[in-house]
């Protein structure tokens, strides 16, 4: 057998196939891009007609994402209480934001809760009651994992409370699914039967989101899906799933 000729044929066949598949891939990307532009324009017109005000930039969306398995990870109340009692009060003379944040970080460290997924979010102060709350958010890579929260509460410089509703990412799903455009999420929020007459969109961010469960549900593992977190009308928040089903 003339292997040389056979190799020529194989090379030509593979080349043709790669060109065909590559062309389809590029066409799809380009098509998606063109489609996205057309869709945005169409939706933008509808939102204008509805009087929806968009005060933020529309983020770019990834073409596809996977789902994310998560594990609920809440601490035992007795363990938390022990750590609170053992926590050192902040220095009376240096009770600034940095000090509170450092104290909160130290507390988390003592509880073994300062992994790479816990990221500082904000400090809120209630001067009337001498209370300061240091909050953390959960991140999976670049994306927030909602709705997780962790907060260390100080009263007169002493840690008096700790709240935690947390999930740990376990693994991603096996299949990538297409993510809807953020404009579509805004359209869905402001659609018929919406709660408000007028919408002012302040922020829209891509997150991983686990919809809340019933209070009496005692859950170990759950699934987070990509969602658009929309902040509107003075701080109200809604999550709209990105998965087109």
Partner 1 sequence: MNTTKTTTIEKIKNIMIAVLLVTAVLLLSFFWRTSSIGGSIVNISRTLVQSDSSYMPQTMDLIMPEYIRVGLGSGSYVMCDTSVSMDRLDFDQGHDSETLYTELLAILRDYLEQEDVTTEEIEGEQYDTVMSYSTVSAVFSFELPYAEFLKNNGLPVPQNGASVDTMTRITFSPFSSENVFVYDGDNGKYYRITTGNAEFAKEEANILSALIGSLNAVAHSNYYTIQNVAGVDNDTLIPIYMVTGLTDETFRPAFSIEDSSDVEYMENLFFSGGMDFVRRITENRGSLMYVQGYSEKVLQLSAGGRISYREEFDQSGYEEQNLYESISDAVQYVSNHGGWREIVSGGMEPYLARVEKIKAETGNYTGYNVVFGLKMDGIPVEYGSGDPISVRLLGSQVVSYEREIVLTDKGESGSTGEDNLWQAMAPMDIITNNYEMMYGEMTAAAKEANINEAGAGGAAVENGETAVTSTTAAPEKDPKNQEPPGGAGQLENFDYVAANVNRVDLCMYKGDGDESLKPCWLILAGDCRFVFDAKTGERVNTETSADTEA
Residues of this chain that interact with partner 1 (CB under 8 A) are 4, 7-8, 10-11, 14-15, 17-18, 21-22, 24-25, 64, 67, 69, 173-178, 211, 213, 217-223, 225, 243, 245
Nearer to partner 1, 90 or 226 (CB): 226
What is the Rg, in whole angstroms, of the alpha carbon atoms belonging to the chain? 25
**How many other C-beta atoms are found inside a 10 Å radius of the C-beta of residue 209?**
22
CB of 26 to partner 1, least distance (A): 11
Nearer to partner 1, 24 or 237 (CB): 24
CB of 218 to partner 1, least distance (A): 4
CB of 226 to partner 1, least distance (A): 11
CA distance 45 to 16: 43
Nearer to partner 1, 49 or 214 (CB): 214
CB of 224 to partner 1, least distance (A): 9
CB of 204 to partner 1, least distance (A): 20
Question: Which residue(s) pair with 149 in the sheet?
Answer: 165
CB of 70 to partner 1, least distance (A): 10
Nearer to partner 1, 7 or 198 (CB): 7
CB of 236 to partner 1, least distance (A): 19
| DSSP, res 213 | P
CA distance 99 to 21: 58
Long-range contacts of residues 95-104, Cβ cutoff 8 Å, at least 24 apart = 95/157, 97/123, 100/132, 100/134, 100/154, 101/134, 103/134, 103/152, 103/154, 103/159, 104/134, 104/136, 104/152, 104/154, 104/159
Q: Which of 115, 121, 239 is nearest to 169 (CA)?
A: 115
Of the chain, the end-to-end C-alpha distance in Å amounts to 53
- Residues 100 and 154: beta-carbon distance below 8 Å: yes
Tell how far CA 7 is from the center of its chain: 50
């Amino acid at each position: 057998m003339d292997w040389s000729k056979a190799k020529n044929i194989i090379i030509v066949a593979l080349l043709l196939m790669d060109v065909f598949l590559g062309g389809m891939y590029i066409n799809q990307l380009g098509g998606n891009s063109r489609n996205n532009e057309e869709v945005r324009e169409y939706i933008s017109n509808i939102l204008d007609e509805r009087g929806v005000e968009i005060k933020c930039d529309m983020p770019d969306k990834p073409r596809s994402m996977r789902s994310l398995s998560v594990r609920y990870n809440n601490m035992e109340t007795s363990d938390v209480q022990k750590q609170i009692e053992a926590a050192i009060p902040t220095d009376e003379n240096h009770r600034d934001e940095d000090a509170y944040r450092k104290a909160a970080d130290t507390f988390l460290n003592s509880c073994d809760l300062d992994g790479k997924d816990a990221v500082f979010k904000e400090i809120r102060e209630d001067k009337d009651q001498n209370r300061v709350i240091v909050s953390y958010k959960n991140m999976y890579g670049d994306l927030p994992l909602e709705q997780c929260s962790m907060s260390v509460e100080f009263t007169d410089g002493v840690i008096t409370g700790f709240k935690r509703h947390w999930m740990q990412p376990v693994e991603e799903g096996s299949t990538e699914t297409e993510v809807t455009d953020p404009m579509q999420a805004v359209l869905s929020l402001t659609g018929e039967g919406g709660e408000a007459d007028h919408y002012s969109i302040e922020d829209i961010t891509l997150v991983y989101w686990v919809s809340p469960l019933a209070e009496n549900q005692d859950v170990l593992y759950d699934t987070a899906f990509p969602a658009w977190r929309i902040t509107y009308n003075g701080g109200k928040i809604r999550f709209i799933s990105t998965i087109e089903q």
